[in-house]
Amino acid sequence: MAVSTVRPASHQFARFIFERIESLWSEAVVEPEYRQAMRAALAPAKSSPSSRPVGFNGLPLIALPAWSCEAVGGNWQQAELVAAAWGLLYSAAHLLDAVEDSQADAGLQPTPSQGATINVATGLISSATLALNALEDSEARSETAREVRGRFHGAVLTMCGGQHSDLTRLEPTLEQCWQVAEAKSGAFFALACWAGARLACSDATQTDLFGQFGQNLGTVIQIRDDLSGLTPVAGEPSDLSSAGSWTLPAAYAMSVGSDDERDQLRRLLQAAPSDATALAEARRRMIECGAVLYLTVEVERRRRQAEAALTAASQSGRARDELLALLREVCTVRNA
Task: Tell whether the model's pLDDT for residue 24 goes beyond 50.
Answer: yes
Task: Tell whether the model's pLDDT for residue 5 goes beyond 70.
Answer: no
Consecutive H or E run containing 233: none
What is the model's pLDDT at position 239?
A: 65
Percent of the chain with pLDDT over 90: 66
What average pLDDT does the segment 275-302 reach?
94
Nearest Cα to Cα of residue 66 among 24, 20, 129: 20
What is the model's pLDDT at position 16?
A: 85
Tell me the CATH number of domain 10-330, given options 1.20.1300.10, 1.20.140.10, 1.10.600.10, 3.20.20.70: 1.10.600.10
What is the model's pLDDT at position 3?
A: 40
103 — pLDDT class (breaks 50, 70, 90): low
**pTM for the predicted model, two decimal places:** 0.89
* The residue type at 161: G
The CA distance from 55 to 38, in Å, is: 11
Q: CB-based contacts of 9: which residues, under 8 Å, 6+ apart?
A: 58
User: 18-37 burial string, b = 16+ CB within 10 Å, else e?
Assistant: bebbeebbeeeebeeeebee
Q: How confident is the prediction for the chain on average, in pLDDT?
A: 87
Tell me the per-residue pLDDT of 248-285, one tens digit each, with 9 for 90 and over: 999 999 999 999 999 999 999 999 888 989 999 999 99
What is the model's pLDDT at position 271?
A: 92
What average pLDDT does the segment 161-186 reach?
93
237 — pLDDT class (breaks 50, 70, 90): low
What is the model's pLDDT at position 157?
A: 96
What is the model's pLDDT at position 7?
A: 55
